[in-house]
Chain A
Amino acid sequence: MPDAAPASIAALDRHGIAARIARDIPEGWYVNLGIGIPTLVAEHVPPEREVVFHSENGVLGVGPSPPGAVDPWLINAGKQPVTLRPGGSFVHHADSFAIIRGGHLDLCVLGAFEVAENGDIANWATTKNDAAAAVGGAMDLAAGARQLWVGMEHTTKDGAPRLVAHCSYPLTALGAVRRVYTNLAVLDVTPRGFVVLEMVRGLGFEQLQARTGARLFRPE
């Protein structure tokens, strides 16, 4: 597990972050999961809790990747083979993004390079000069879902904070993020800034602050 934190801090691995996010998704929600840690969330929602996963390429009711026989015509946004759950359906691309942009999704979970204290998110291009970066559906998802959560590592591999006062990477959307789940903490984005809801065992508030590029607040 790549983690810059000392061993005494019970930092979560990628599946740990995904499982923590899954705990907060209630039955009946329609949810889009982005590529990376968010994709893992589906594995941690118990099958008896009915959550309908949407994939931007026009699939409602995405199920897990099939163990054996694969249907080459049924893939998810990451272009991996998937299955369709009972009650699933297919729509064309304009309707799929009407679902996204029209505010019909209860939740979208995305990965990110950076999240700013005002909810700005940067998750598609790593440099200002990369004119050929692939945006895909990221901007539509960030602007359209009724709420946006981010699942990501708290810092970069080099220890630089990903929760920041202002994003330095090219933006995906303004003021869109509602909540951030990292390997170290769960934080809400509020008008005050980042409010720390939870920290992993062995981690103190000041230690978390030291790993964060924006001011942290305790819940009121």
Chain B
Amino acid sequence: MIDKFVGSMAEAMAGIRDGSVVLLGGFGMVGQPDALIDGLIAHGAKDLTVVANNAGVGHTGLARLMELRRVRRIICSFPRSAGSLVFEALYSAGEIELEIVPQGTLAERIRAGGAGIPAFFTPTAVGTRLAEGKEQREIDGRTYVLESALAGDVALIEAWRADRFGNLTYRASARNFNPIMAMAGRLTIVQTQHAIVAGGLHPEVIVTPGIFVDRVLHVPYAVPADKGGRNA
């Protein structure tokens, strides 16, 4: 019987190696797999390259992972935001490498990474410093920049509902990078708010089919009180 549910965080994190490229879902705090990031911290893997839209805030989650010097390089679109203190300190001290990628290019690079497309031309960033040193080509009178695919050794995903096949749905704007990162991870690990019996997810509402998912950990995390009755 196929059952991708794992019983513990240690099981979820098993085998993640030092030096891995780790894709982290989320846009700001929404859709971010907080429990799995804490699990990665406890697991201890280091020398990581992290791909995420943001570079962490405060001193928890991704910021904590960076503060512990586990992240060698971060690839993101929006590193500096209110509260990105750990990133700023490490960056100004030269203790973390940064690759800034326009958000849509970041998303498409990840999508391509999961779709078997090694590179693609995009109009985004032409004529800006983020295109410097990259191959350009004129196609039908417009200039494009060549961007390469971005896959991960590991993808950490936050889902709303999951079944034992690894089929997933997401909640509202928490979908964001999660479906494409699930596709682009060689080892895709999911935390889900709700565990659904097999067959309980209607095939037409599944956003990420289980073929893209390796492990699912049921993490019923806190639901704010004012959302009563809506968490289904």
Interface of A toward B, CB cutoff 8 Å: 55-59, 68-75, 79, 84, 90-94, 96-97, 100-101, 120, 128, 131-140, 143-144, 170-174
Contacts and interface: CB of A to CB of B under 8 A. Distances in A.
Contacts of A73: 30-31, 171-174
B contact residues, range: 35 or more
Contacts of A79: 27-30
Interface in B26-60: 27-31
Contacts of A174: 126-127
Nearest to A82: B173
Interface stretch (B3-11, B61-69, B103-111): B103-111
Contacts of B80: 132-134
Contacts of A75: 27-28, 30, 173
10 closest Cβ pairs, A-B complex: A97-B104, A140-B104, A174-B127, A94-B111, A93-B107, A137-B103, A139-B102, A73-B172, A134-B78, A92-B179
Contact of B108 (A72, A94, A135, A170): A94
Nearest to B96: A132
Given A69-B226, A143-B126, A55 B108 contact: no
B177 A172 contact: no
B91 A72 contact: no
Nearest to A124: B128
Contacts, number: 144
B172 A132 contact: no
Interface string B218-232: 000000101100100
A13 to B, nearest CB: 24
A170 B173 contact: no
A101 B98 contact: no
B119 interface: no
B103 A136 contact: yes
Given A75-B30, A101-B122, A120-B127, 14 more contacts: A56-B103, A68-B226, A73-B174, A75-B173, A90-B173, A92-B107, A93-B107, A93-B180, A97-B104, A133-B100, A135-B78, A138-B102, A140-B104, A143-B124
